[in-house]
């Protein structure tokens, strides 16, 4: 029975990690068009999520956690728009380094991982309930 509880704990950690990943992807999508408001300024910079494997000594299990939320250091593209308040002296405005297609794929992958963890928890819970039912027989 303790193995079932451990599997629930592992899947719960996965749910938390994927939930945070979906939050970051949502923030990226929401800011995909956020331009600088001062001349020559920088637009929104895409955020990234890094995971790590962590040993939970109290339960003797490995769980996934967010290692850090970083930023994508890739270059900004530019667009010619001399009337924009964020344009540089040559009339170019830096654009966010967010690619909506990549964000949509990341969101889909995070959602699938989240769903897989929910399925694992539901399966472990069902086995746990059957075990309790047999013990109470």
The pTM assigned to this predicted structure is 0.88
3-state secondary structure the chain: CHHHHHHHHHHHHHHHHHHHHHHHHHHHHHCCCCCCCCCCCCCCCCEEEEEEEEEECCCCEEEEEEEEEEECCCCCEEEECCCCCCCCCCCEEEECCCCHHHHHHHHHHHHHHHHHHHHHHHHHHHHHHHHHHHHHC
Per-residue pLDDT tens digits for 55-97: 999 999 999 999 999 999 999 999 999 999 999 999 999 999 9
* pLDDT, tens only, 92-128: 999 999 999 999 999 999 999 999 999 999 999 999 9
């Amino acid at each position: 029975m303790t193995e079932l509880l451990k599997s629930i704990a592992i899947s719960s950690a996965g749910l938390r990690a994927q939930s945070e990943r979906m939050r970051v992807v949502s923030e990226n999508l929401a800011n995909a068009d956020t331009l600088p408001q001062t001349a020559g300024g920088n637009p929104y910079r895409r955020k990234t999520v890094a995971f790590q494997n962590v040993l939970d000594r109290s339960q003797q299990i490995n769980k996934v956690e967010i290692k850090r939320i970083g930023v994508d250091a890739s270059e900004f593209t530019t667009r010619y728009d001399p009337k924009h308040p964020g344009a540089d002296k040559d009339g170019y405005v830096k654009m966010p380094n967010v690619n909506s297609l990549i964000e949509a794929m990341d969101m889909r992958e995070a959602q699938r991982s989240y769903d897989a963890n929910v399925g694992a928890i539901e399966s472990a819970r069902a086995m746990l309930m059957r075990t309790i039912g047999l013990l109470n027989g």
